[in-house]
Structure 1
Amino acid sequence: MTTGENAVTGEAGKRYAKALFELAEEAKALDATETDVTTLGEAFGESADLRRVASSPLFGREDKAKALEALADRLGLSDLVKKFVAVMAANGRAGDLPDAVRAFKAMAARRRGATEAEVTSADKLTAAQLKELQAALKSALGHDVEVRAEVNPELIGGLVVKVGSRMFDSSLRSKLEGMRNAMKEA
């Protein structure tokens, strides 16, 4: 999943996520629902074909609903999350599922008192790198940080870290663009 595609969580995704969050709280199944939502998000993150099918107008709502129902069954998702996916597909919002996943996870992190950091790198970060980054962010911010990592090969190297409205961009692409702009001005 690239940052350019999903940098901003859509309003529809937020609304659906809020409804799921409230239902999960009511059912006292917030942790299990978050686990299922994370699993669903990973499936979308790992499959460009799944993202394409969910968002493509070439596939009808019924086809999307069947495909997502099969995916939910294969992933072993709870009935609550299966119904959530089915409702989004039936309402023509299958393409908003990745946004809903991000919004739900952000709500769950806030509920735990943690901040979510979006980290984009050119290559997939190792578990050790993620742990080191999480520790550095916790030290800098003074509270727990949950890192959500994405890969965007267009960065060439370095990282882009976004926490709330703050962003730190140490990507090689940004540095090259800065040099290019400086050379134009000279």
Structure 2
Amino acid sequence: MSMSNEVVAKRYAIALFELAEQDGTVSQIEKEMELVKQLFQDNGLQSFFSHPKITIQQKKAILSGNLKNAVSENVINTLFLMLDRKRGDSIAEMAEQYIQLAMEKERVADAVVYSVRPLTEKEQKEISKIFAEKVGKQELRMRNVINPDLIGGLRIRVGNQIFDGSVSGKLERMKRELAAANA
């Protein structure tokens, strides 16, 4: 991903985001962008859309075929505009940038919760409430990862912050404190 690629992607994402804000469709389009991102990541469409031998018309046909009725007009228009300007290779990054903008506005952050056993919906909601406040967000989008090595308790990662309330984390801290006391 070249720097210019990222800059280009961000420009389109901001333009689309501003349209969405006017229409009140920020979170709807965010869901559509998840779809676009998946389409490009999972199906290796990235190389297809940046291929110079494939015509813009062919690219548009494939795109609208894959996204028909799944995304709004503003999204399709933005993607077509990117193809017209030979920026097909920036589409996945643009989707990612848009999602980031929407999450900023909605004061939502992605969080990974590591636990020994799967957490219930209720537990995840409670954790989201407590930790969203700690990081100045309204809510956290949780992904629960099972990690038996934790022994018990939880470890939570929000962005680059880690909250470690796991038993193994506590044992680790105790070991360090003992080592320091004996030094």
Give the TM interval when normalised to the shorter protein.
0.5 to 0.7
Larger Rg: 2
Percent sequence identity over aligned pairs: 21
**Partner residue of 1:79 out of 54, 65, 73:** 73
Name 1:27's counterpart in structure 2.
23
> Is the 1:9–1:102 Cα contact (8 Å) retained in structure 2?
no
Give how far 1:162 is off: 8.6
Name 2:42's counterpart in structure 1.
46
Map Cα deviations across residues 145-178 of structure 1 (whole Å, 9 max, x no partner). Answer: 4469xxxxxxxxxxxx893xx498xxxxxxxxxx
In structure 2, give the amino acid aligned to 1:34: E
> Is the 2:109–2:140 Cα contact (8 Å) retained in structure 1?
yes
Gaps of 5+ in 1: 120-127, 149-160, 169-186
Give how far 1:36 is off: 1.2
* Distance verdict in 2 for CA 1:107–1:9, change over 3 Å: farther
Give how far 1:95 is off: 1.1
Name 2:61's counterpart in structure 1.
66
- In 1: Cα distance, 2:84 partner to 2:5 partner: 20
* Distance verdict in 2 for CA 1:25–1:167, change over 3 Å: same
Q: What is the count of residue pairs matched by the alignment? A: 137
- In 2: Cα distance, 1:95 partner to 1:60 partner: 14
> Is the 1:69–1:85 Cα contact (8 Å) retained in structure 2?
no
- State the 4+ residue runs in structure 1 displaced beyond 6 angstroms: 131-134
**TM-score, structure 2 normalization:** 0.60
Map Cα deviations across residues 99-120 of structure 1 (whole Å, 9 max, x no partner). Answer: 1000000000000112346x8x
1:73-152 maps to which residues of 2 (within 5 A)? 73=68, 76-116=70-110, 139=131, 142=135, 143=137, 144-146=139-141
- In 2: Cα distance, 1:65 partner to 1:80 partner: 15
**Partner residue of 1:55 out of 45, 50, 57:** 50
> Is the 1:69–1:86 Cα contact (8 Å) retained in structure 2?
no
* Distance verdict in 2 for CA 1:147–1:58, change over 3 Å: farther
- In 2: Cα distance, 1:145 partner to 1:28 partner: 22
> Is the 1:106–1:116 Cα contact (8 Å) retained in structure 2?
no
